[in-house]
Amino acid sequence: MMRPLDPDALSSEEARVGLCLHCHEARQLVNPRGNAFYQCRRGQNDPRFRDYPGLPVRECSGFVRREPTSGRPGAN
Ligand code: SF4
């Protein structure tokens, strides 16, 4: 059973990650310690973007809002 989102935790994650949290081009990766970080798919083909952007990302010309139903970044 999924737990409901904790609004405080979400805003904390939004503050830490910025735009990548809601971007269709982001892929969320979790290391063995349980720390989440974000890979930018655009970075693989476009030199204007870094594979692993410095967080938080506050402005980005490549941002594409992920559909709300598609789950966590990179899950689709
Ligand atoms: S395009 Fe920008 S906002 Fe989207 S994942 Fe890459 S760096 Fe983050």
* Confidence at residue 50, expressed as pLDDT on a 0 to 100 scale: 97
Q: Beta partners for 58?
A: none
Q: Which of 22, 63, 70, 72 to mutate to test the pocket of ligand 1 (most atoms within 8 A of CB)?
A: 63
Residue 62 contacts residue 46 (beta carbons within 8 Å): yes
* Confidence at residue 4, expressed as pLDDT on a 0 to 100 scale: 53
19 touches ligand 1 (CB under 6 Å): yes
The pTM for the full model equals: 0.78
| Per-residue pLDDT tens digits of the chain, which is 76 residues long | 445 556 666 689 899 999 999 999 999 999 999 988 899 999 999 999 999 999 999 999 999 999 876 556 665 5
55 touches ligand 1 (CB under 6 Å): no
18 touches ligand 1 (CB under 6 Å): no
Q: Beta partners for 30?
A: 36
* Confidence at residue 11, expressed as pLDDT on a 0 to 100 scale: 83
Query: How many A from CA of 75 to the centre of ligand 1?
Result: 15
* Confidence at residue 13, expressed as pLDDT on a 0 to 100 scale: 87
